[in-house]
A = this chain, B = another copy of it.
């Protein structure tokens, strides 16, 4: 619609630490900045390019942390500096969403926004665009919070779930409740039941809607956001930075799920079921599943030169082009080499990476 101003915004949340991909991801180079799937673009950049299918470029906002802000700017040179919100401290997702909402609201009192994680995988970008357009339209029209629920294909215990209720309109269902990562038996029940969806961490709402919710359920945060809003209206960037710093130093680290979503009454949240080939890429095992393999199920990443004898189902990776990874007589192992470390862990135990990373920080006295 040339000439028409879009009310639609996308807020990409790019503050994650991604320690589950240590040693390749580090505090200074977290998951969203990595090219985990060998596409020559970081997960963040892919998220940005996907967002361009639903909002105009000037309406893409990126929220990130100070330690990686420069890298984020380098990765997304097209994004105007004023659209990169750099949090002075990590305070989980509620403040991050809040600041983005205030930013949108100041630019467009009728703004509607999609909150998008920066580090997920989406196979069908077309389906994603379709679903997101319908979700933003619904959020704009109904003034509800509209989430995306991924139809489960396996009894996954690593994801949160959303229980869908009755049909409200078209594809839109009431969201009955959010549930945390279930145990295996519960996950199998969810899969059989058919009304449970994976929570993809994507939210759609008008800026006004979510700011009202903060006022109702997180009044301290709402007060802080008011101060930031005032700073934005005054237009003094240096002073605004000072206000943000002060606000962040006082507010609690709380997730948007816990702080708002779980407190809203039934019927105020909706879910649109989707099947666009989503994964949160939560571990090396998930990366393994998304990459091409040889006839023995071995995946070679980066510039690794593999030398394999009786090896099956392994993921091999090095950040040093031309480095050899030589393995004999093992199955289903993850071997990741970087300048800092060599990681060796069975694929079934890839959740231990976080624990190993903690151990390393302790050992190094960090």
A→B interface (CB under 8 Å)? 22-23, 305, 307-310, 318, 323-330, 333, 335, 337, 339-346, 348-349, 352-353, 355-357, 359-360, 363-364
* Smallest CB-CB A-B distances: 6 pairs: A324-B341, A328-B352, A329-B349, A307-B359, A326-B356, A327-B344
**How many of these chains are in the complex?**
2
Report how far A353 CA is from B356 CA in the complex, Å. Answer: 27
A327's partner among B329, B345, B357 (CB-CB below 8 A) is B345
User: Given A328-B349, A349-B329, A359-B326, A305–B342 Cβ distance below 8 Å?
Assistant: no
Contact A309 B355 (CB under 8 A): yes
A363's partner among B305, B327, B328, B363 (CB-CB below 8 A) is B305
A341's partner among B325, B340, B345, B353 (CB-CB below 8 A) is B325
User: Given A305-B364, A307-B363, A363-B307, A342–B355 Cβ distance below 8 Å?
Assistant: no
Report how far A128 CA is from B22 CA in the complex, Å. Answer: 49
Q: Which residues of B contact A337 (CB under 8 A)?
A: 337, 342
Q: Which residues of B contact A310 (CB under 8 A)?
A: 352
Report how far A343 CA is from B308 CA in the complex, Å. Answer: 10
Contact A328 B355 (CB under 8 A): yes
Measured CB to CB, the nearest residue on chain B to A351 is B328
Report how far A344 CA is from B332 CA in the complex, Å. Answer: 13
Cross-chain pairs A/B with CB under 8 angstroms, 8 sampled: A23-B326, A307-B356, A323-B339, A326-B356, A326-B360, A328-B353, A330-B345, A335-B344
Measured CB to CB, the nearest residue on chain B to A307 is B359
Report how far A117 CA is from B360 CA in the complex, Å. Answer: 41
Contact B324 A342 (CB under 8 A): yes
Q: Which residues of B contact A348 (CB under 8 A)?
A: 329
User: Given A337-B337, A340-B323, A328–B307 Cβ distance below 8 Å?
Assistant: no
Report how far A333 CA is from B345 CA in the complex, Å. Answer: 11
User: Given A305-B364, A363-B305, A363-B307, A328–B341 Cβ distance below 8 Å?
Assistant: no
Measured CB to CB, the nearest residue on chain B to A360 is B307
Nearest CB on B from A363, distance (A): 6
Report how far A356 CA is from B329 CA in the complex, Å. Answer: 11
Contact A335 B324 (CB under 8 A): no
User: Given A309-B352, A363-B305, A342–B318 Cβ distance below 8 Å?
Assistant: yes
Q: Which residues of B contact A341 (CB under 8 A)?
A: 307, 323-326
Of residues A323, A344, A346, A348, which shows the largest number of chain B Cβ atoms within 10 Å of its Cβ?
Answer: A344
Contact A326 B343 (CB under 8 A): yes
Nearest CB on B from A106, distance (A): 45
Of residues A23, A330, A342, which shows the largest number of chain B Cβ atoms within 10 Å of its Cβ?
Answer: A342
Contact A342 B325 (CB under 8 A): yes
Q: Which residues of B contact A363 (CB under 8 A)?
A: 305, 307, 324
Q: Which residues of B contact A343 (CB under 8 A)?
A: 326-327
Of residues A307, A308, A337, A360, which shows the largest number of chain B Cβ atoms within 10 Å of its Cβ?
Answer: A307
